[in-house]
Structure 1
Amino acid sequence: MAHGHARPILLGLIGSPIAHSASPAMHEAAAEAVGLTAHYQLVDVPGADDARLRTLLSSLAPIGFAGVNVTFPYKERVLPLLDDLSPGARAVGAVNTIVVRNGRLNGHNTDTTGFARALTQAFGPSPEGPVALIGAGGVGKAVAVALSHFPGLEVRLVDADPAKAEAVAALLDGHAALRVCRRVEEALEGARGVVNGTPVGMLPDRGTPVPFALLRPGMWVADAVYSPLWTPLLTEAARIGARTMTGRELAIHQALDAFALFTGREAPACAMERAFDRAVAPLAA
């Protein structure tokens, strides 16, 4: 193939721990599907302070990165280190996609767009509420903003750190029916939907962000975690007959949106879906 000689587009992921990430497989497959070559590098940096993070980001352009994704625990911490933020990233206060253009770093948030699309595909154009949202960190904030785009949907937000939840409520003040709850039990009282926006349930953790006794068959339950695909929360939800959405949908949709920002090309969803399933299959075994 002639395009094999072209220099590959260099992409990456900054975060930790990220060994199980499906992003390399998804982005490289998406590139191949549109006739490009991409190399997607995992940049696993545990416990980086702001100085180390700044050094890392300032090296992206000189090394030749077209863009990088950002994941836990740096989605919020990269904000002040970027040259520019999209309105969406500014609204969320978190970045999961950085586009490198002419030496400048532009922050975006495709968790928001990706989650909204995934949710409507799984549960229809107007998901039933109230929705209990667990977690007000990087992913939780993106989900809160995504949910705020559904008119009249009541969101009840819980975080182990109530100040974080209050900050998200302030951020969305006037844009959404968002209520901060102190306890998960309170958030789930009469709730129709549940979203886990925390890393609880991500391997090696086998915990659940929601006590199983609070789940009901009529609910829909979504998880942002995809390693494992079937977290303890989703396994129990499915067992009692609730409708479920795994982290697969969010992972694929945020990656599709990020790839479009990185390359200016729309990748076919099926290419990313196949790549995700291949990458994650060993984890499910």
Structure 2
Amino acid sequence: MAHGHARPILLGLIGSPIAHSASPAMHEAAAEAVGLRAHYQLIDVPGADGAQLRTLLSALAPIGFSGVNVTFPYKERVLPLLDDLSPGARAVGAVNTIVVRDGRLTGHNTDTTGFARALIEAFGPRPEGPVALVGAGGVGKAVAVALAQFEGIEVRLVDADPAKAEAVAAALAGHAAVRVCGSVAAALDGARGVVNGTPVGMLPDRGTPVPAELLRPGMWVADAVYSPLWTPLLVDAARIGARTMTGRELAIHQALDAFALFTGREAPAEAMARAFDRAVTPPAG
């Protein structure tokens, strides 16, 4: 049967600012690769309060969405508005993927599964710790839970809001060694790995969450930001010869896992990776 006339699967992304997102390209290309059609809508809502978020989420099923991704600043704020949470999303306390089925909304977190897979691909099955993790918000929490899956890794968490870091440490108590550090410098002292889980370094911001002089050549350094791909942090790390992982790997792996949840189909990694590269590195000239 020809599927050309079938209604496209409707997907989207809720967050702000999201103009740089590679998600539409990745999900639409993945659908095409498995013989489906998808339309992926950017839903850029700056400064939505709880009531506005609730209105938006309650419209997803009637409009016909199969699911949406959620990004900064709403990964934590959507939690109380969902019908159900996967164990992973509940553990993290943040949602980046909402599946819409029979009018019910279920929250998942593919940042966690995606980051763990990306890390193994980049740095091998046993990434070395201790790991300094900057940021205890939506992405930082997902990264902390992902790191907790690796045996014997100490996570040193630092956040501009120490209460946030303390809450993540408390949530992971018994599952991982998590230490809250009062400063980035303290977190990096003797660390083998560094992860940026904050939006610092994401365009138009040109900052870095870690002063360059704290980085060492023997470290591995990962960034969750992919706009730009080479953030100031990663440029500093590469300059001294540290091993690096850009936000590309996390972006692709979290999207692969989300696509499988949205469609029930195995997502084609090659198609998603190519789509990401086209979206993030536009053709020269």
Residues 70-89 of structure 1: CA deviation (Å, up to 9, x unaligned):
00000000000000000000
Correspondence for 2:103 = 103
Structure 1 counterpart of 2:267: 267
Match of 2:276 in 1: 276
Q: Which consecutive segments of 4 or more residues in structure 1 shift more than 6 A?
A: none
Aligned counterpart, 1:165 = 165
CA drift at 1:136: 0.1
1:200 and 2:200 correspond = yes
Q: TM-score, normalised by structure 1?
A: 0.99
Query: How many residues are matched?
Result: 285
C-alpha displacement of 1:268: 1.4
C-alpha separation in 2, matches of 1:235 and 1:59: 42
In the alignment, the residues of structure 2 paired with residue 282 and residue 216 of structure 1 have an alpha-carbon distance, to the nearest angstrom, of 32
Deviation readout 1:157-195 (Å, 9 max, x if unpaired): 000000000000010011001100010000000000000
Give yes or no for contact 1:67–1:97 (8 Å, CA) kept in 2. Answer: yes
Give, in whole Å, the separation in 2 of the partners of 1:208 and 1:36: 40
How far residue 3 of structure 1 moved from its aligned partner, in angstroms, is 1.3
CA contact (8 A) 1:89 1:95 kept: yes
2:45 maps to what in 1? 45
SS at match of 1:17: coil
Q: In the alignment, what sits opposite 1:216? A: 216
Q: 1:122-271 maps to which residues of 2 (within 5 A)? A: 122-271=122-271
Aligned match of 1:85: 85
How far apart are the structure 2 equivalents of 1:251 and 1:88? 18
Aligned CA RMSD, in angstroms, stands at 1.2
Percent sequence identity over aligned pairs: 88
Corresponding residue SS for 2:281? helix
Secondary structure, counterpart of 1:114 in structure 2: helix
Secondary structure at the counterpart of residue 200 of structure 1: coil
Q: Is the 8 A contact 1:228 1:283 kept in 2?
A: no
Q: CA deviation at 1:2?
A: 2.3
Q: Which runs of 5+ in 2 are unaligned?
A: none
In 2, the alpha carbon distance for the partners of 1:284 and 1:220 equals: 30
Q: 1:6 deviation in Å?
A: 0.4
Deviations 1:188-211 (A, max 9, x none): 000000000000000000000000
Contact 1:196/1:222, CA 8 A, preserved across alignment = yes
Q: Are 2:34 and 1:34 aligned? A: yes
**Cα pair distance change 1:166/1:11, threshold 3 Å:** same
Change (3 A) 1:106 1:26: same
Shift of 1:282: 2.9
